[in-house]
Copies of this chain bind each other. A is one copy, B any other.
Amino acid sequence: MATDAWVNETLYPEWGQRFLIRRELARVQSAFQDIMVFESFTHGRIMLLDGVVQITEADEFVYQEMLAHVPLLAHGSCRNVLIIGAGDGGVLRRVLQHRGVQRAVMVEIDGEVIRLAKEFMPGIAGDAWHDSRAEVLVGDGIDYVKRAGDATFDAVIVDSTDPIGVGEVLFTDDFYANAARILTAGGLIVNQCGVPFMQADELRETSARRAKFFPFVAAYVAAVPTYVGGFMTLGFAAKQPGLDAVPATTIGARAHAAGIAGSTQYWTPEIHAAAFHLPPYIAKQLLPGRRAAVR
């Protein structure tokens, strides 16, 4: 199916990115969404869900490293980790890189995303699927957090789509209330909050919602090439204070002990610490008076 057609991302109706398609690999209408996998000329293979870029082989390291390593090293002794979404397996792989992790449960609602990622983008998860500490479930993340026992996980990582379509329920009061309940006393949750230059509401509204259930709410940034529009933000909410302000030297020591030092292409201890310092145009979307504001 060689083609010289372009695919236009449809996330924003009046601005967006486009990719020249080298070869379409799959186009599937699952029970939940329209899934497209194609090979680009510039970014390796790319997966779109409902017309929105979810992952590319070339830049996935930025998002995955920041979504996995930051919460685990900010916490410092995560043993049990829950991942919601992230059907490509890239977050699972990074979580399992941490020696101290004993169990990583991944709950992805759409089995077709997992199947297509395994078939067409196998390098993203690597051997993570077969790690004895991994428990991969196809199911509803909302339902999973409702049924999970109190204080079961040290970290919850939410790698969802934007709060439209299938991902919407992962941004509700009900979800955050249960997430807080199933976290241990020192636990924390991170979730993607979009690109505030274009989607300021997403950070503002979900920060306010997390604040209902977590005493310490912050956010950190990552410059993901294909999540266009400047920094994307990752929401960060904790049951103990100070996790957003761990010094780079401490983070570096933890990374060394965890076995991830030197394995990254974007994350470093300094970038970890720096990522919590938000530009004013982003900080103003967080709750006034919270320490997540510019310090």
B265 touches A42 (CB 8 A): no
Whether B16 pairs with A18 at a CB distance below 8 angstroms is yes
Which residues of chain B are within 8 angstroms of A274 by Cβ–Cβ distance? 270-271, 273-274, 277
| Interface presence of A264 (CB below 8 A) | yes
- Residues of A15-54 at the interface with B, using a CB-CB cut-off of 8 Å, are 15-20, 40-43
- Contacts known (A62-B230, A225-B228, A231-B223); A15 close to B15, Cβ less than 8 A: no
A221-263 vs B: 1/0 string, CB under 8 Å? 1011100111100000000000000000000000000000000
Asked whether A17 lies within 8 Å of B16 as measured between CB atoms, the reply is yes
Task: Give the docked Cα–Cα distance between A61 and B224 (Å).
Answer: 20
CA distance A58 to B277 in the complex (A): 21
Q: Chain A, 270-288, contact with B by CB distance < 8 Å: what is the 0/1 string?
A: 1101100101110000000
Report the Cα distance A229→B56, complex, angstroms.
12
Copies in the complex: 2
A48 to chain B, nearest CB (A): 14
Please indicate the chain B residues that have their CB under 8 angstroms from the CB of A195 in the complex: 225
- How far, in Å, is A57 (CB) from chain B's closest CB? 13
Asked if residues A277 and B266 are in contact (CB atoms below 8 Å), the reply is: no
Beyond A14-B40, A18-B15, A271-B279, is A223–B230 a contact (Cβ under 8 Å)? yes
CA distance A225 to B228 in the complex (A): 7
Residues of B within 8 A of A268 (CB): 277, 279-280, 294
- Residues of B close to A294: CB separation below 8 A: 268, 270
**Complex A-B: 25 CB contacts under 8 Å:** A13-B20, A14-B19, A14-B20, A14-B42, A15-B17, A15-B41, A15-B42, A16-B17, A16-B18, A62-B230, A62-B279, A223-B231, A225-B230, A264-B280, A265-B279, A266-B279, A266-B280, A267-B279, A268-B277, A268-B279, A270-B274, A271-B274, A271-B277, A273-B274, A274-B277
Instruction: Apart from A18-B18, A62-B230, A223-B223, list 19 A-B contacts with CB within 8 A.
Output: A13-B20, A14-B20, A14-B40, A14-B42, A16-B18, A17-B228, A42-B198, A62-B279, A198-B225, A223-B230, A225-B228, A265-B280, A266-B281, A268-B280, A268-B294, A270-B294, A270-B295, A271-B279, A274-B277
